[in-house]
Structure 1
């Protein structure tokens, strides 16, 4: 299945240069508040369209790893997470920086990121072939059930409302229905516009949803400068801190396993992994009260978990064709524009490409550590770039990228309109991830359902003889029921909290 000579292509001088540029660019984007790893990959996908598929995916993997780790810089120096994956890093990194230990806080974060990425690499290398072999047993029944399970997971973890998560997923699935049906070529939801017969292009929708909505959300603060704490980071201090990690080996292993496990869950990713790992590290520590006051174990837990989740998120992408988080959703688009469908057959038909991705993942983690150690002052300087200069440049690149994919102005209008839609959704508290996953999975779910009904003689009885499909459907139902139950319990707990009526009202 694998020809290991293909690993030699990863270490070619040109690919190494692409990885250096990708990791460094990802670090810069990730370190700047508001510019997430998803946006970093979204900006790069149109550029990789004209590249060889190996080179394009090597660069995307490098950007992914760099941008996730880069978030720790602004988390430590500004108390603002550069990406959602670094939220928990702010809890202890910024207090350390405020008391004059910014260099030490960054050192803990950088080395923890490297260890999390390294453990995640081994998980990706070991689990992906096993899951890929298992997924070869999937048919239309299993794929439809998997799509339902994936959507149920995303809807269930919607921050505020299960109803809003369901509404977002429904809108996404309706968007997937635009154009000609793949089974009977019936035109749907085109409103007489010929350009919509082929459906909505995935990449303009993804770029618009995440780029425009983020820019519009930050427009109120576009003129506010960032205020940095003093930084005294040196390579000598970094290697001195790295030697002390033997004392934190349990925290590293536990946080890595949490990161990989959460990363594998479709659509969850590093945003949740760092919070869960932080809370577990705090619960296991003999001095939990020191967390939030500059405890290095909190930084280690958060940064190990969020970097470990990157490999976890790539496992379902490569083996099932289901993105593990919003960033791998963008990478799914990159596969598709190169004519490659990730999934169970990827290992068999494109084993060389999988090896290239694994090699790029390993090397990019090493480059991520080295570039942060020796060039972190460049990242710090990038934080001083005014947002009113940066955001128009990003918007221009998005427009160019959307047009370049198909040389179509229709894609530009799709990019703009879905970006505004995404902003309105976030403004009203509707999560974007269920919407985008509904768009990606909607067409697949429809096709597999219709095929399975035909195979079952015109009804759904065929599912009764498919244990894997039944397990997925049962897990989907349980996830929704458990989410409803946990939210009901949370409401009852809040209702039991006594209200102090003598307290003064606040406006």
Structure 2
């Protein structure tokens, strides 16, 4: 890969590529900043346009759009408490709490800088070690994926801001919602109540929008919403005041988040969502101030934002080397590669090494552009704070309805958004955290599918779940996470 950098640079550093990267960066920032419009949707909208492009510009357009949209989803999360993606939902309460504290510039400054650094780290790993790292991901079977998914699900124990019992009950609500739809093995409908719109399960994006946006809108209309000081970011360069010193103090967090994000991203089917959730949970577990998480912690933001974009780069390792999509975005990229004659697989690194190196180089450029273009997007979007919330609420509701409808072009998305929004409002009014519920919806099917598949493979046996070294290591980590709360409770009881 390194030997072909000269040829790759000749393909990337042209006026044509510069125009495509700039246009797609702007498009990605716009789509990511609108509640309900995801990075996957943005890249899917570009596919018809790529028909008329050469291979490298076509993939570069999708890569740049996705990188910008993933970061831009943090903007509505901070300003409106509406996450653009599931990854942003992991740390949405911290972003929004910093906004309420009058530190919106600091919150988004940490987000844009950590996202860029994490993305650059993932891009360098992708450029230098893609084929070797992909071999690691091939060692993962359904047994390893089950324990990995269970490890992510166990993060709910650390994500809840309230009591452990409330967090677990919130997680169970999410798992119940994830069970709606067709059974993963038998294909039998579950809890659909005869509605064909629920056969594919509860649409995740409408659920995400509803559970975070609707409670805020209800509080706005009823006058219960917290008053956010009227402010703007002001001078864009002031966003970085103190961020450099913070990142230096939290350099271990930055490195840990980047590594976790890249490793999780490399695993097929995991993606940036799980990377951000696990990184945030690990950060809270090892923090000296875990009580600050969910209330405006800057430490957790560094970990999760770095993991967010690092996982996006890591997902391209199995996609390029074996044609296995790491997430929904790389599935789109694989289709474009086949369409352009760049069939993913080990041979593509020999037959089209210059083009693959050029695509990886675009990753690096896209993540470098996150800082200047992200600053511009933050400065423009922060003017939203100057608008009174009651005037802004109908517009936000309109965006939520459009975003929920556009997922499947069905009114059922709007119904899901409203119903789960009311559920989330009741939960929050009774001090139940919403984050574990979202995590349950995200990872419920992943746990069930791999668990059932593993049971079929082992003919109902339990021993094969821990026979393989990686599976045994992940199982041990899950056991430790489950044991810690019990040991703390026993210790407290013995003291009494």
> What TM-score comes out, normalization by structure 2 length?
0.66
1:226 paired with 2:229, answer yes
Distance 1:304 1:139, change over 3 A: closer
Q: Evaluate the alpha carbon distance shift between residue 335 and residue 421 of structure 1 in structure 2; reply closer, same or farther with a 3 A threshold.
A: farther
Equivalent of 2:415 in 413, 416, 429: 413
**Structure 2 vs 1, CA of residues 256 and 402 (structure 1 numbering), >3 Å: closer, same or farther?**
same
Tell me, in whole angstroms, the C-alpha distance in 2 between the residues paired with 1:68 and 1:302.
14
User: SS state of the match for residue 51, structure 1?
Assistant: helix
Distance 1:429 1:376, change over 3 A: closer
The equivalent of 1:267 in structure 2 is 277
Q: Conserved in 2, the CA contact under 8 Å of 1:69 and 1:110?
A: no
| Cα distance change on mapping 1:278 and 1:376 into 2, 3 Å | farther
Partner residue in 2 for 1:136: 138
Name the stretch that deviates more: 49-58 or 449-458.
49-58
| CA-CA distance at 1:217 after TM superposition | 4.6
SS in 2 for 1:215: helix
User: 1:432 corresponds to which residue?
Assistant: 434
Structure 1 unpaired stretches of 5+: 30-38, 75-81, 95-101, 281-297, 322-330, 341-345, 497-507
> Which residue pairs with 2:64 in the alignment?
58
Residue 188 of structure 1: CA displacement?
Answer: 1.5
Q: Where does 1:379-458 land on structure 2 (aligned, <5 Å)?
A: 381-458=383-460
Return the offset for 1:22: 3.6
Q: Give the Cα–Cα distance (whole angstroms) in 1 for the partners of residues 99 and 284 of structure 2.
A: 11
Per-residue CA shift, 1:395-444, capped at 9, x if unaligned? 21221222222222222211221222222223323333332232232223
Q: 1:176, CA displacement in angstroms?
A: 2.1
| Alpha-carbon spacing, 1:360–1:202, altered in 2? closer, same or farther (3 Å) | farther
2:25 counterpart (19, 23, 37): 19
Shift of residue 371, structure 1, vs aligned partner: 4.3
Q: TM-score, normalised by structure 1?
A: 0.65
Deviation of residue 475 (structure 1)? 1.0
Shift of 1:221: 5.5
C-alpha deviation, 1:152, in angstroms = 0.9
Contact 2:28/2:39 (<8 A) preserved: no
Q: Which residue of 2 aligns with 1:198?
A: 200
**Displacement of 1:476:** 0.9
Q: Is the 8 A contact 1:259 1:308 kept in 2?
A: yes
**What residue in structure 1 maps to residue 269 of structure 2?**
none
Aligned residues: 429
Helix, strand or coil: the match of 2:162? coil
Listed one character per residue, the Cα deviations across residues 148-206 of structure 1 (whole Å, up to 9, x for unaligned) are 11111233332222222222222222222222213112222122333323322222222
Contact 2:123–2:363 (8 Å) recurs in 1: no
Residue 118 (structure 1) shift: 2.8
Whether the 8 Å CA contact 2:36–2:404 is kept in 1: the answer is: no
For residues 415 and 77 of structure 2, the distance between their equivalents in structure 1, rounded to whole angstroms, comes to: 31
Separation (CA, whole Å) in 2 of partners of 1:217 and 1:261: 39
Q: Distance in 2 between matches of 1:112 and 1:199?
A: 32
Give 1:97-136 correspondences, 5 Å limit.
110=109, 113-114=112-113, 117-118=116-117, 120-123=119-122, 125-126=124-125, 129=130, 132-136=134-138
Structure 2 CA distance for partners of 1:207 and 1:377, relative to 1, 3 Å? closer
Cα deviations by residue, 1:19-52 (Å, 9 ceiling, x for unpaired): 13544776xx6xxxxxxxxx74656655555332
Structure 1 residues 272, 431: closer, same or farther in 2, change over 3 A?
Answer: farther
Structure 1, residues 60-79: CA drift from partner, whole Å, max 9, x if none?
Answer: 421332454899999xxxxx
Report the counterpart of residue 306 of structure 2 in structure 1.
308
TM-fit CA distance, 1:209: 2.2
Which whole-Å CA distance do the structure 2 matches of 1:419 and 1:88 have between them? 20
Q: Distance in 2 between matches of 1:150 and 1:418?
A: 22
CA contact (8 A) 1:267 1:433 kept: no
